[in-house]
Amino acid sequence: METNDNKQTTIRLAVQGLDCPDCAASLERAVQGLPGVLSAQLVFTTSRLSLTAESEEVLPEVVELAGAMGYEVAPEGMPPVPAHQGWWAWVVRRRRELATWVGGGLLLLAFALSLLGLPEVVSNALYAASIVIGGVYVARAGWVGIRTTHAPDMNALMAVAAVGAMIVGEFAEGALTVFLFSLGELLESYSMDRARNAIRTLMNLTPEEATLLSDGEERRVHVSALAPGDRVVVRPGERIPMDGGVLEGSSAVNQAPITGESMPVEKGVGDEVFAGTINGNGVLVMEVTRRADDTTLARILRLVEEAQSQRAPAQRFVDRFARVYTPAVIGLAALIAVVPPLLGFGALSTWFYRALVLLVIACPCALVISTPVTIVSALARAARSGVLIKGGRYLEAMASLRAVAFDKTGTLTVGEPHVVNAGCELLPEGGRCENCGDLLAKAAAIEGRSEHALARAVTRYAESEGVSERYAAAEGVQALTGLGIEGLVSGHMVSVGSVALCRRNNGHNGGHNGGGDSEDDLCRIATEEERKGYTVLVIEDACCGSRCFLSVSDALRDGVADVIRGMRRDGIEHTVMLTGDNPHIARTIAAEAGVDDAKAGLLPDDKVTAVRDLMARYGQVAMVGDGVNDAPALATATVGIAMGAAGTDTALETADVALMSDDLAKLPFAIRLSRRALNTVRANIAFALIFKAAFLALAVAGVANLWMAVLADTGASLLVALNGLRLLRMRESQPRRHGGH
């Protein structure tokens, strides 16, 4: 519970016993109508009730109201407090299931006795008992729903149908109606629990206890007691309890619960590890960097639950339709019961019975459940594979994508530039003269002061060449805006910059070979390297006039070309790379990746303009980036997709879809999943509407009876639920297409 500055209290409760969205809506409206409750929201797919109240004193009334409607509620993280103990507590907890099966047993007994020729009054008495026992909770929930929301729900409709059946003497059909309805509710509840459990399994990933290392001694503590800075020992096979960094040891860590990666990742000193991942065969000593409620896993769980509370456009359509459809059918049933007998077209009992059948058909359960069970199954399946989709509307938007824009660095490429060539005027094709090695050592002394990716490439190359320790760190290091960096190394002013810096300095210093045109030669060679698609760094010692160049490349991610081809097969019409890099590099990377177009030299605002242009041409467009530098473009696109979001706050919070690992291959899977989910939703809605229309016609014609109507309604609900649950088993890899010869 939380209390804000306005003295209002936010209460979050877990609800048990929800069978369908209509039941959830009735309970939500009922709680909303309680005195002292300011607002209430019940998310059917997560069974979570959040309400804002004037004080905590409303909680007992909420519990009592929910109990009267057949549900149990308790604060999140706490089981409902049982009103009874021992075996009676088990009976109370399972009362709806027991009532269903006892009612079914009495129904079967009555049917058997009627076959044996016993008086009809005996079998009718047993049928009546079956209706009362099996329908007591249905009737009570229906009455409470009418009393609190002033509108009939499906429980009320079923209760009216059962009573009406007894009035017209159809005891057997009334009993069968109640039993089939109660059984259907149980089966729907079980199927929805399966979808919910797909999310709940994430909650069980983090261990409850951890081994704290304090003053050289180890002791077991609850994870909630750990704070940033604490040291924790993780032994082989244990789950890592918190987010943190490795201080000692090395091991292969299974990160599949967070990132969906199929292979363990080697972790050593300085590497980041996540709560809920599984340690391999090494002992790790780690330092905690986040509290238990702020780990990457905890944030994923919060975002997944928030995603389930967001209604997809298809679901909003179904909800609006159901609000009109149900009252319309109830009104039609009333007209059918009254008008034909008044006009002399049959007995009142005949048309009254047909009206009861129509009331049963009026239950919109199959229609209403068709969307949420599919959406939650798709969200759960995506989360299990390391793809976090922020809600049903983004899932639906991904299904309609026609174009995808990619950032270059860190998205299509690995984001780790490395030196692939080095040279000077004397050795233009690569290699190193004595001056080149000395210049590389000086460049490392300057770049060691920078955190830029290109700086790290220079220092790593200097280490590999064995010259990184030749000079002390540079002094007076300063950036040359848009050109490079310079600093003082052992009394020499040295600059490291782009070809543009080379051209600016051209003619001001003599070359190390003494030729007057040597500088022109170096700029020309560097420009040729750029045309090959490399980033070129020119190193120059202004004191002695010596210069050389380094060609740097950022390697394409493994499998990117296959990903692009796969997306094209899946219906993506256009792909484009948006980068701030130079056009030569952009064209080279784009050609290797297989994207359709490349736009280079773009600032963040230019990327936004490019995305808007794509949306004008293709409508639904996704932008894939790192979630930080590309935030404006991600926000502009129909769907913003962040790469490598595990442990990255900005990416997790700003993107609509987050790929938790740096595996771009998850993107085609997410698109295929979203398209299959949308197709499933459409198929479910179409099936439910056609089914309802057919039985409405049969009911008016007098062909359908009560038990057939209930069986049809329950069967339709189960079929659409099971159809949606199939998404939980969807494979990541797409089956290969075998062609003939």
Give the active site residues.
407
Which residues, other chains included, contact 318 with Cβ-Cβ below 8 Å and sequence gap of 6+? 367, 368, 370, 371, 685
Task: Give the H or E element holding residue 488.
Answer: strand 484-489
CA distance 665 to 385: 11
Residue 231: strand, helix, or coil = strand
CA distance 44 to 562: 39
Residues 612 and 396 sit within 8 Å (Cβ to Cβ): no
Q: How many CB atoms lie within 10 A of CB 464?
A: 11
Name the residue type at position 444.
Answer: A
Residues 195 and 174 sit within 8 Å (Cβ to Cβ): no
Which residues, other chains included, contact 531 with Cβ-Cβ below 8 Å and sequence gap of 6+? 584
CA distance 39 to 51: 5
Q: Using N-to-C axis directions, what is the helix angle for 372-384 and 171-203, rounded to 10°?
A: 20
CA distance 406 to 188: 42
The dihedral sign for the CA sequence 300, 305, 308, 311: negative
Closest by CA to 670, choosing from 607, 622, 611, is 622
Name the residue type at position 18.
Answer: L
Helices (H) and strands (E) in the chain, counts: 25, 27
CA distance 265 to 279: 10
Residue 475, both tokens: 């002094």
Per-residue CA distances from 349 to 156, 162, 336, 356 (Å): 21, 14, 11, 10
CA distance 325 to 716: 17
CA distance 43 to 319: 14
